[in-house]
Structure 1
Amino acid sequence: MVIDLNTAARPAFDLFSGFSLCATLASLETAGLLAELAATGRLAPDSHGLGAPLLDYLAARGIVEECGDRHRFTPLGDAIRADIGYLVWLSRGYGLPMRSIAEFVTGARGTDDHAGRDGSGVAVGSALVGARDLVPQALDLLDGTRVTRVLDLGCGNARFLLEICRRFGATGTGVDEDSRACAEAEREISAAGAAGTVSVRQLDAGDLAALPGIAATDLVVTFFLLHEILAAGRAALVDHLRGLARRLPAGAHLLIAEVTPATTEPGQLFSPEFTLVHALMGQRLLDAPGWHAVLADAGFTVAREVRPTMPGALLMLARRAG
């Protein structure tokens, strides 16, 4: 008997292989093994003899190909690696909540239960995504803006903070509540030789009273942070931003990156999944007019905005009024 596995007739197999590839590649990327494979053609270290089966699997799925006694990435593999941050963000960051979705639906888990979210996976995945689809446009958006001291709220691995400080000759402080993200940021700062100008603090970015040096800051960066404060309600978000505005010097800027909510249009990339996982966390998203209204109520005016290449994302540069 011949079984027809034509994926046009049996689309579940696309999801089957997609899930496996997503989890495998995200895990290897997080451990630095994809970079090792790209550089050496091998997976090392291989303490349990899994290198050969893994390479066979990746070859079967068209990610790598044999080249003598080594392997190299195919064009498909290179294209996926260019967007690997999305896989890390989803699989490593939100893999457990997504696998527990029925527990949220039935009430066995509450939307305030974030224990399953891997903050480090979210931070690393976001940084990888941003390097291609956000950072170049964000830096362009800042051109012509006075930047001498930066405060990055929810800084993750601090790569964007480092890039801003390098480009503008500024000093900066990153804040993140996740200890693993802060440890990664410390390593990035040390590797960049920037310990004298950039630092990181493990703090709750929502606690304005604890944040260092706001009164001397002329640029605050909040990438994918404010929707977490919005989870407590629009009034809570406005109060938070209003409190931030009161503490900042006149003319200071706020650089925001958020993803707008998914629509009913077919074929959308990323934003439906982003909207769903944040619904699991009890968080809702705002569209562009919603952000304009919140910022205006809090004492900021939007100076410039742009849609970056990150699907569904919005970049806004707002200025403190007064």
Structure 2
Amino acid sequence: MTDVQPTLKVEPGDVPDAPRPVFELFEGFALTSVLASLERAGLLARLEGGGVPADSAEGEDGLPLATLRYLAQRGIVEETDGTFSLSARGQAITRDKGYLVWLQGGYGHVLAALGDFSTGAQRYGSDVIRDGRWVADGSALIGRDDVSPHATAVLETIDFSHVVDLGCGNARFLIAAANRFGVTGVGVDLAPEACEDAGHAIAAADLSDRVIVRCGDAGDLDAIPELADADLAVAFFLLHEIFEHGRDALMSYLRKLGTIMPRGAHMLVAEVQPASGAPDERWRPEFTLLHAIMRQQLLTEQGWHDAFTEAGWSRHEVRELGLPGAVLLLYRNDAPGGAEGGA
């Protein structure tokens, strides 16, 4: 009698060659964490600067050899003659590293607490908050390529001499505007870490006599006296935080800003529109979710236009940004109560 071997029942998910997309997510999470952490530690710059010799990668100040080997296995770096350098794929990713810093450091722990937020065990804003320095650093890196060039092009169409940057982060845009246009400026930001970094950056740029940053709430317009003399206000990804308190709060903010600033002054705004549900959308669904966790809503371009015009501002220009779904809005203060003067 021939022995009969037992037959194993194979489920569809057990087929060795079946796609397992979970590992794509696993890889993406790990790479995001590694690259963002190296950037924040100042070590990614060594790879971007030309390469890291393998024999120098084991010291306290070097990139751990195991990390370099991992990045090589994932196609981020290449090893040639004992030196690790960025591959073409690595160069493409690190050009957009700000998104990784913004997500992993600024909001990674916020997303990790989503379950507790959903059950009520924790609450955003009291038990868990975003990291101000990571958000500021990530936003500055994102803004360098996907916001600043567009904003600079728009600002070249108007005259202005004094800027107030509402929610300035580490003041990179304010510094760039001072250098490019020769203007003076004041920045306001709520995060002490971002304000500290801004102070260092302003000093390093030798602009301490023309640019200052003050730690404070950009939502409290009464605490920003410089607005009365400003012919340009900048609010990059700030107004949705005002809208968090309702449309009436947003309208009150825009109207008050119009009465404080001179007539003819401008306001430059960048915002991300809410996710539309399109299957190939990038960035917007994640941005929308994170702000929903923070109990913040986003508006479409038309929604922002309706709010501005109702508050007494007229549209000067609207254009898309490099961030998927983001728009840049330039409005002019035509409020009857605005101070006389302006551009």
TMscore range, shorter length: over 0.9
Higher alpha-carbon Rg: 2
Q: Say if 1:253 and 1:320, in contact at 8 Å, map to a contact too.
A: yes
Match in the other structure for 2:3: none
Match of 2:38 in 1: 28
Select the residue among 193, 206, 230 that pairs with 2:219.
206
CA distance in 1, matches of 2:229, 2:279: 46
Amino acid paired to 2:46? E
Q: Which residue of 2 aligns with 1:308?
A: 321
Aligned counterparts of 2:87 and 2:128: Cα–Cα separation in 1: 37
In the other structure, the counterpart of 2:339 is none
Question: What's the secondary structure of 1:167's corresponding residue?
Answer: helix
- Is residue 41 of structure 1 aligned with residue 51 of structure 2? yes
CA distance in 2, matches of 1:244, 1:44: 53
Residue identity opposite 1:205 in structure 2: A
Query: Please, which of 142, 145, 163 is the counterpart of residue 132 of structure 1?
Result: 145
CA contact (8 A) 1:228 1:283 kept: yes
Give the alignment of 1:184-195 within 5 angstroms.
184-195=197-208
User: How far, CA to CA, are the matches of 1:213 and 1:107 in structure 2?
Assistant: 41
**How many Å separate the matches in 2 of 1:115 and 1:243?**
31
- Structure 1 distance, partners of 2:142, 2:37, is 16
**AA matched with 2:31:** L
- Give the structure 2 partner of residue 172 of structure 1: 185
Q: How does 1:246-261 map to 2 (within 5 A)?
A: 246-261=259-274
**Alignment equivalent of 2:102, drawn from 89, 94, 98:** 89
Q: CA RMSD in A?
A: 1.8
- State whether residues 112 and 282 of structure 1, in contact with CA within 8 Å, keep that contact through their aligned partners in structure 2: no
> Which amino acid counterpart does residue 295 of structure 2 have in structure 1?
G
Q: Secondary structure at the match of 1:232?
A: coil
Worse-matched range after superposition: 186-195 or 37-46:
37-46
The match for 2:284 is: 271
The alignment status of 1:299 with 2:312, answered yes or no, reads: yes
Q: CA 1:288/1:52 → structure 2, altered by over 3 Å: closer, same or farther?
A: same
Aligned residue identity for 1:279: A
Letter paired with 2:44: L
**Residue-by-residue CA offset, 1:190-212 (whole Å, 9 max, x unaligned):** 12111111111111111111114
Match of 1:12 among 18, 22, 25: 22
Q: TM-score, normalised by structure 1?
A: 0.94
Gaps of 5+ in 2: 1-13, 336-343
In structure 2, how many angstroms separate the alpha carbons of the residues matched to 1:88 and 1:124? 7
Structure-2 change in CA distance of 1:49 and 1:111 (3 Å) = closer
Report the more deviating stretch, 202-211 or 43-52.
43-52
CA gap 1:196/1:56 in 2 versus in 1, 3 angstroms: same
Distance 1:59 1:187 in 2: 35
Matched, 1:236 2:249: yes
Change (3 A) 1:50 1:171: closer
Shift of 1:38: 2.5
Distance (whole Å) between structure 2 residues aligned to residue 33 and residue 229 of structure 1: 36
Q: CA deviation at 1:49?
A: 8.0
Matched positions, count: 319
Contact kept in structure 2, 1:151 and 1:219, CA below 8 Å: yes
Could you tell me which residue of structure 1 aligns to residue 239 of structure 2? Answer: 226
Matched residues, percent identical?
47
When residues 70 and 144 of structure 1 are mapped into structure 2, their CA distance, relative to the original with a 3 A threshold, is same
